[in-house]
Structure 1
């Protein structure tokens, strides 16, 4: 382990990423629809070893999935909010109850366990303010372990990158 070159990065499951793997990840984050032949050309390998590397990244869990990035407004989702949720007690049972309940709410597109004044931060998307209000009244505030909620409506977004900066 101490003899590893600095251009190789260790990640979970002891997978090693070299410069070529990092380049593959950068390219796929920008365009997951790229063909294997195009990807191979961009990284300077033939198609067979390129496909082998991508498969290794997928089976090891480095690449978890591929998604289309959809413009929320174009599908009728005009309101996005962040909601800080504080629980009645910050114990394992309440945390698990909250997580189980929040996973059932489709409008919650992100849920993060956080430090600070709240316990969780949620990103919620809805059609409009009326739909958001109904969601909060009917579902989120009715989760039995929720003590308080603080909403922040997103007025505009200036950066919403889905690409991770690959170290190396």
Structure 2
């Protein structure tokens, strides 16, 4: 199912679910103007097509003891597929790395890393990330404040 096959009701369902994934089917059906059965059918269709991938609880990092968030630009030692695949496999085992993006520009990857505090972050960098043999160089940007952070996609 592509975005061109999404009708206005599908788009409204997606907007509502991105804002409140815990909404009941009854309430969702009221908001989109359909009865509950066709509403549930649309949601199931969006799930099985892969447009809706999952549902999550958004946590407050500070309230769970995670006070430092950084972006780390990583340059690899080479660009062969084996090097990239090995790096990605290792990154996927590190829970503090919450995002990993293959990028263009000065670096090869951009990581979003979350840690308890600056000491924990430093230890993670020195003892884990910089010890990955495929890593040639890292450059860290510490997030001081966040003014916008949305997981909601603008539905075209």
* TM-score in same-fold range (> 0.5): yes
* TM-score normalised to structure 1 length: 0.91
Query: What is the aligned-residue RMSD (CA, Å)?
Result: 1.1
Q: Residues 66-116 of structure 1, C-alpha deviation per residue, up to 9 Å, x if partnerless?
A: 001101000000000000000000111110011000000000000000000
Distance 2:18 2:119 in 1: 35
Q: Which of residues 125, 141, 150 is equivalent to 1:136? A: 125
| TM-score, L = length of structure 2 | 0.98
Offset of residue 137 of structure 1: 1.0
How does 1:92-107 map onto structure 2 within 5 Å? 92-107=81-96
Please give the alpha-carbon distance, in whole angstroms, between the structure 2 residues aligned to 1:94 and 1:11: 33
Q: CA deviation at 1:138?
A: 1.3
Residues of 2 paired with 1:17 and 1:139: CA distance? 44
Q: Give the unaligned 5+ runs of structure 1.
A: 1-9
1:58 aligns with 2:42: no
Picking from 2, 27, 31, the partner of 1:11 is 2
**SS at 1:141's partner residue?**
helix
* Structure 1 segments (4+ residues) deviating >4 Å: none
